[in-house]
C-alpha cells in the first residue's frame, strides 16, 4: 500500500512539474508576442506619421519653427560629437517602442486616429493650437523632447 501512495505522490510531482514548465512556456510566448506586436505597431505608427504628416509643406513649416530648428541643431551636434547616447540617457524613454507605449497610454486609439487623419489633410492654425494644447496637457516637457529626438532619429535628419 505504501508503494502505491509513493507512486501517486511521484506522479503528482511529475504532473506539477509539467504544469509549471507549461505555464512558464506560455508566459514566455505571450510576452514575446506582446513585444512583437508592440514593435510592429511602433513601426506602423512611425511609418504612418512619416508618410502622412511629414509632407513637403509640413516639413518646411516644421523646419521654419525656431524651437524645432534649435532642437535639430543640438541633436545633430550631439550626433557629430558621438555624445548622442549620453543625451539619450537622460531621456524618459529611449526607443520608439517605449515612445509608442507612452503615446498610447496618454491618448486613446481614437484620438490618435483622429489626429492622424486631421494631419494628413492639413491642420489649420486653430487645430494646431488645439493639438499643441492637448499634447502639453498630457505630456511633460521631457517626454515631448524625447518624442522629438526619437522622431528625428527615426526620420534620419
**How many independent structural domains does the chain possess?**
1
**CB within 8 A of 145, min separation 6: which ones?**
71, 91
pLDDT at 156 over 60: no
Query: Is it the case that residue 61 has pLDDT exceeding 90?
Result: no
Residue 22 reports pLDDT greater than 80: yes
pLDDT tens for 130-146 read 888 888 899 888 888 88
pLDDT of amino acid 26: 95
Q: Grid cell 505608427 — which residue? A: 45
What was the pLDDT predicted at 146? 82
Question: What CA–CA distance (Å, rounded) separates 116 from 122?
Answer: 10
CA distance 83 to 5: 67
Supply the pLDDT for residue 75. Answer: 61
Q: Report whether pLDDT(73) > 60.
A: yes
Asked if residue 24 has pLDDT above 90, the reply is: yes
The closest of 111, 119, 109 to 53, measured between CA atoms, is: 119
pLDDT band of residue 25 (cuts 50, 70, 90) is very high
List Cβ neighbours of 45 (8 Å cut-off, separation of 6 or more): 100, 103, 112
Q: What is the pLDDT of residues 74-97, one digit of tens each?
A: 666 655 444 444 456 677 887 877
Report pLDDT for 56: 61
Residue 98, domain extent: 2-155
* pLDDT of amino acid 63: 66
Query: What per-residue confidence (pLDDT) applies to 128?
Result: 80
Amino acid at each position: 500500500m505504501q508503494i502505491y501512495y509513493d507512486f501517486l505522490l511521484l506522479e503528482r510531482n511529475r504532473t506539477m512539474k509539467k504544469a509549471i514548465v507549461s505555464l512558464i512556456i506560455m508566459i514566455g510566448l505571450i510576452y514575446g508576442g506582446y513585444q512583437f506586436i508592440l514593435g510592429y505597431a511602433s513601426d506602423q505608427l512611425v511609418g504612418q506619421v512619416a508618410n502622412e504628416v511629414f509632407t513637403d509643406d509640413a516639413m518646411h513649416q516644421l523646419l521654419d519653427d525656431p524651437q524645432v530648428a534649435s532642437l535639430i541643431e543640438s541633436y545633430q551636434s550631439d550626433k557629430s560629437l558621438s555624445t548622442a547616447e549620453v543625451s539619450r540617457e537622460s531621456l524618459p524613454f529611449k526607443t520608439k517602442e517605449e515612445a509608442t507605449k507612452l503615446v498610447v497610454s496618454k491618448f486613446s486609439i481614437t484620438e490618435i486616429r483622429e489626429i492622424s487623419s486631421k494631419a494628413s489633410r492639413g491642420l489649420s492654425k486653430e487645430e494646431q493650437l488645439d493639438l499643441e494644447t492637448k499634447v502639453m496637457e498630457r505630456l511633460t516637457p521631457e517626454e515631448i523632447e524625447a518624442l522629438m529626438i526619437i522622431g528625428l532619429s527615426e526620420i534620419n535628419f
